[in-house]
Structure 1
Amino acid sequence: MLEQAVFTIILMYLLIVQLFNARLMKPMIEALGRGRVYEQTVKSSWGLSLLLLALVFLFGVPPEAVGLGFAPVEGSMSAWKFFFFTTVLIAVLLAFYLVVKTSPRLRKRLRPYYELEIERLLLPHTDVEAKAWGAVSWTAGVTEEFIFRGVLLYTLSLYIDVSSLMLAFIGGAMFGLAHAYQGVRGILVTGLVGWGLGYLYLAMGVLWPVMVVHALLDLIAGPIHVADSETD
């Protein structure tokens, strides 16, 4: 199948580039600054996603096959239960993000959990950078879920016939490798998160709630290293 070959080549190229970028991320941030890296990340992520979206329609892939539906299939109680659970999770994460954003004391308490060198380099340190991080977070939430959950899991399903749990695990492992620039701990953490998000998506059949969860997880990290005059 042509679509299978094309999607495979693009996804493998992306994975190889991400692994190669693991060595370039630190010098890139030091040379260009966080703002420029944020800008380049947003542009490249949307560019790749729009290309894949165009190919989805070009090859006649049903949008629902890559998660581009609005709600779970009617009559599937299991899918709707996961959908309800995810909406509750979104509400909790949104509330937590608002508290983190407005509480210098909580940010200070969370800071030790974001102390990897790459995290200190990549995460915002000023209010201006924090605003730009918002665009990065929503970009990552939408584009990475479309690429690594929608297109990747669809492509994997063309090769192998496994349970949703195993498919999500394989996709999560590849998602973790795509974050190799975060080091071994980053690969493990993002891989685990990727597995969980992948299973949620497969259980519901729609991507947008998972996109919102992903974006909120990134948004929560945004204010952590922003200096506050009263506590820093």
Structure 2
Amino acid sequence: MLEQAVFTIILVYLLIVQLFNARLMKPMIETLGRSRVYDQTIKSAWGLCLLLLALVFLFQVPPEAVGLGFAPTEGNLRAWQFFFLTSVLISALIAFYLLVKTSPGLRRRLRPYYELEIERLLLPQTIQEARAWGAVSWTAGVTEEFIFRGVLLYTVTLWVDVSPPMLALIGGTLFGLAHAYQGVRGILVTGLVGWGLGYLYVAMGILWPVMVVHALLDLIAGPIHVVDSETD
């Protein structure tokens, strides 16, 4: 019961803080600058992630229950099939990221899809900021998946018994709300992405491939608004 209450309180607090941060994000970026906001985001994300990881071990939660396994369960054909599909997706995303990073023309074609005010404020504008964005992307991939897929979905199962697709949907909805600073469109897009990532997780039972997919999706957005030549 204590375990259930502690995880729930922390996650509810996180969601409330994220909703309030929605109003603070723009003035924070305008006042502190993107680099400082990136740095603060990385520190706070890892701090919360380490706190939850410590609680996982304190309450003796099986690592596999929060996605900290290395491979799908032996003999689970469906999980291995999704693992293979996720591996293919990762390969495709890596190739696409390299194209985006090296092709000014592709970046120009993608910019209209990243034109929300908060995206233009948050995404890097210079090569130096783009390098820092790499750390933000991997931090988001690892910490957000552990928090919103591993720990959050585990906490949901402590309260209710739902099917894996419904569990993924609940996680996606809360993930979208946690990105309220991106506006209504951002909530819908991140919620849909969160549902997809959650479905991959519950299908495989492991988090690290989903962490890689998440990080690559953020990395792809990094170079979009970076102008590194006169023709870009």
SS at match of 2:149: helix
1:33 aligns with 2:37: no
Q: Which runs of 4+ in 1 moved over 4 A?
A: none
CA contact (8 A) 2:127 2:228 kept: no
- Root-mean-square deviation (CA, aligned residues, Å) is 0.5
Partner of 1:144: 144
1:69 aligns with 2:69: yes
Partner of 1:134: 134
CA distance in 2, matches of 1:221, 1:108: 12
Offset of residue 231 of structure 1 = 2.2
1:107 aligns with 2:136: no
CA distance in 2, matches of 1:199, 1:156: 15
1:118 aligns with 2:114: no
Offset of residue 27 of structure 1 = 0.2
CA distance in 2, matches of 1:124, 1:102: 16
Deviations 1:92-113 (A, max 9, x none): 0000000000000000000000
Deviations 1:39-75 (A, max 9, x none): 0000000000000000000000000000000000000
Offset of residue 140 of structure 1 = 0.1
Partner of 1:184: 184
Aligned partner of 1:9: which letter? I
Aligned partner of 1:130: which letter? A
CA distance in 2, matches of 1:46, 1:228: 31
Partner of 1:85: 85
CA distance in 1, matches of 2:116, 2:129: 19
Give the paired residue count.
Answer: 232
Aligned partner of 1:28: which letter? M
CA distance in 2, matches of 1:164, 1:204: 11
- Which segments of 5 or more consecutive residues in structure 1 lack a partner in the other structure? none
Offset of residue 229 of structure 1 = 1.8
Aligned partner of 1:116: which letter? L
CA distance in 2, matches of 1:66, 1:186: 26
TM-score, length basis structure 1: 0.99
Partner of 2:195: 195
Offset of residue 217 of structure 1 = 0.0
CA distance in 1, matches of 2:161, 2:230: 56
**How is 1:13-32 mapped onto 2 (pairs within 5 angstroms)?**
13-32=13-32
CA distance in 2, matches of 1:83, 1:29: 38
1:4 aligns with 2:4: yes
Aligned partner of 1:18: which letter? Q
Partner of 1:210: 210
CA distance in 1, matches of 2:185, 2:166: 22
Aligned partner of 1:176: which letter? G
Deviations 1:183-217 (A, max 9, x none): 00000000000000001000000000000000000
SS at match of 1:24: helix
CA distance in 1, matches of 2:151, 2:100: 33
Partner of 2:157: 157
TM-score, length basis structure 2: 0.99
- Which segments of 5 or more consecutive residues in structure 2 lack a partner in the other structure? none
CA distance in 1, matches of 2:139, 2:106: 26
